[in-house]
Amino acid sequence: MKETQYDYIIVGAGSAGCVLANRLTEDGRFSVLLLETGGSDKSIFIQMPTALSIPMNTEKYAWQFETEPEPFLDNRRMHCPRGKVLGGSSSINGMVYVRGHARDFDEWDSEGATGWQYSNVLPYFKKAESWAFGGDAYRGEDGPLGVNNGNNMQNPLYQAFVDAGQDAGYFTTADYNGAQQEGFGPMHMTVKHGRRWSTANAYLRPAMERPNLKVVTHALVHQVLLDGKTATGVRFEQGGKVHEAKASQEVILSAGSIGSPHLLQLSGIGNPEVLEQAGIEVKHALPGVGENLQDHLEFYFQFRCNKPVSLNRKLDWWNKLKIGVRWILKKDGLGATNHFESCGFIRSKAGVEWPDLQYHFLPAAMRYDGREAFSGDGFQLHIGHNKPKSRGFVHVTSADPKQAPRIRFNYLEHEADREGFRDCVRLTREIINQPAMDAYRGAEIQPGEDIKDDEQIDAFVRQAVESAYHPSCSCKMGTDALAVVDPETRVHGINNLRVVDSSIFPTIPNGNLNAPTIMVAERAADLIRGKEPLPPSDAPVIMDDNWQARQRQGEAKRVFH
């Protein structure tokens, strides 16, 4: 058994781990070992944005986890892919860049993640980002992460969708990651120079030139090594051989919302009842490990398109070949976008303070795996209720680290979540039936015009919803009985052990999770190094001033700090 010594060991080269590897090595003071179970991200299917459906569904690049039968989804097993490659899930995701609403982070602070309110996290969002249209009070201009709008909404369907939202009485917003999330407008993506700008490209690749960073791929971590209540290193397997690495400072788990709780449990840290059932010795009782699991669901609202402008005309092999060749030669065109170039964030009802429904608009009708939904032109909206109350779990099943954990989200267990999806159906129909869509709107394909009452909508949703691939919150940050890490990201009761990834979110934000995961890692890197945090922002946030009484806008808005 080979043993090596480092200052820090990071488990997982994903959205958070790559950020940490860069920041902890940038001044040359610390030696860092970064362990990743997957391998290289140098594949055209990862780097070409339009190919996003391929790595997500490829075992080489993603853990192909599956949930237990979900009791409130007609016992369907749900697909839960997680990145298994340099860049982690940022190398297999849809590249959508959404920070979440300002109040999501104020909610974190109020739930015990003290210090993680919006004014404190906004500077770290800015630090991470290089926004294609320049920096301001909300956007960064010289960070590692390239963010843009793809092809800048050249297809007319994108703007028609935004205009339909305005026709229906909703706000428009020029920048949902800026002062105002609520409304309809352009969508942003982590693409730079026509390539997927994963954390591997943005953070890890520059850091790999440094002598104080060692990256080991194809390394499956078995457990965190403990000396009493102190983490001292990790045991991992590579090429059939078992190795141990020691950390003089800290071990940091960045294996994601499935991997991090599973690894804690394999190490004997967790709910004693769960550990004992799996035949694992209890080293430290921490009942919240693997609990509080949350995710976003969505379904596709699909329509035929009356004009020959949709991307369905580009799905045959010949057009795909032309798109691919152009991307290889020039890194532009339809190969250089994820095709989600306009979007919307709205509130489902009066009395909801900030948006809880999200739209991704796609000028085509297809499935996530890239298959054509029907012949002819079409468009679709990915719509979901983004502030679920249902909670699930990740539970270790065996002391064997190669055995997948039990995963169950309990999707739609809570009545408020079912009600949210009924709102999705009714509000979307109203939006698409606005004058701005008249020239394009054909027949409703899915759900279908006969799906109208609550019972019909509920039945459709149970069969049609899919994961938006945003598992989170399974090692929540806070101080209550189910908290796993404190507001400094340190595991409660264990010295020299942290978790830094989307698992430590107390609650799931209203939006895609890559941006807040990167922010968490940026801020955690300063906490780990004992650096003075970035000064808080006083940039105002714009919200509807009468949210208690109305579901969509009036003229007045409320500004607060």
* Binding site, annotated residues for FAD: 7-36, 85, 93-96, 221
Count of residues in the chain: 561
User: At 257, is the secondary structure helix, strand, or coil?
Assistant: helix
Strands (E), 12-160: 32-35, 62-66, 79-83, 129-131, 145-147
Specify burial of residue 351 (Cβ count, 10 A radius: 0-12, 13-18, 19+). exposed
User: At 28, is the secondary structure helix, strand, or coil?
Assistant: coil
- Could you give the count of Cα atoms lying within 13 Å of 403 in the half-sphere of its Cβ? 12
Distance in angstroms (rounded) separating the CA atoms of residues 364 and 187:
16
Distance in angstroms (rounded) separating the CA atoms of residues 311 and 316:
10
What b/e sequence results for 146-178 when a residue is b if at least 16 CB atoms lie within 10 Å of its CB, and e otherwise?
bbbbbbebebebbbbbbbbbbbbebbbbebbbb
What would the DSSP string read from start to end of 324-388?
HHHHHHHS-GGGG--S--EEEEE-SSTT--S--EEEEEESS-B-TTS-BSSSS-EEEEEEEE-S-
Q: Residues at the annotated binding site?
A: 7-36, 85, 93-96, 221
Distance in angstroms (rounded) separating the CA atoms of residues 270 and 444:
48
Sequence-distant (≥ 6) Cβ neighbours of residue 205 within 8 angstroms: none
- 3-state SS track over 188-202: CECEECCEECCHHHH
What are the residue numbers of the active site? 470
Distance in angstroms (rounded) separating the CA atoms of residues 346 and 207:
39
